[in-house]
Amino acid sequence: MPKTPNALERKLISQLRRRLRDSGITHYLGFVLAEATRGRVVITMRVQNKLLQAHGVVHGGVLASLADTAGGLASYMACPPGTRVATIEMKINYLEAISEGTVRAVAQVVRIGRHTSVVDCDITDSKKRLVGKALMTFFVGPFPAGK
């Protein structure tokens, strides 16, 4: 059972929801923040026709975007407020095809250092099948001057 977020976490969760809503691509893809705690984020997405590739299953790039977004936000939740997070590297395995229902990405920071964060992400479908697995590395650090 997830713990109740403290005041800082509630503020960060509000910022994350706003970012997902205001970002053109995450809004278009239908990403919804389901949970967020220090170093862990859950994002869901309803399968829609616009997300399917020629064979009628969710496009791999959509799943990669879901994992990348969840991983970046998990890293952000593990850092001091205002930290910049940017993807350095990502590896994803596609394990099952998805054609309907809801997809859930659970991203957990494995290790965070001064300038990098390593995140593991499980992607599951409505049937609770593990449909994808991602491992990502993110830059974490201050915003450059003037940004």
pLDDT tens sequence across 125-137: 999 999 999 999 9
* Residue 83 CA: distances (Å) to CA of 1, 7, 73, 78, 117: 28, 18, 11, 10, 12
Domain map (residue ranges) of the chain: 7-141
Digit-coded pLDDT (tens) for 97-120: 999 999 999 999 999 999 999 999
Comparing CA positions, the residue from 23, 117, 123, 136 lying closest to residue 79 is: 117
Fold of the CATH domain 7-141:
Thiol Ester Dehydrase; Chain A (3.10.129)
CA separation for the pair 77, 105 (Å, rounded): 15
pLDDT at position 45 over 90: yes
Comparing CA positions, the residue from 104, 131, 99 lying closest to residue 31 is: 104
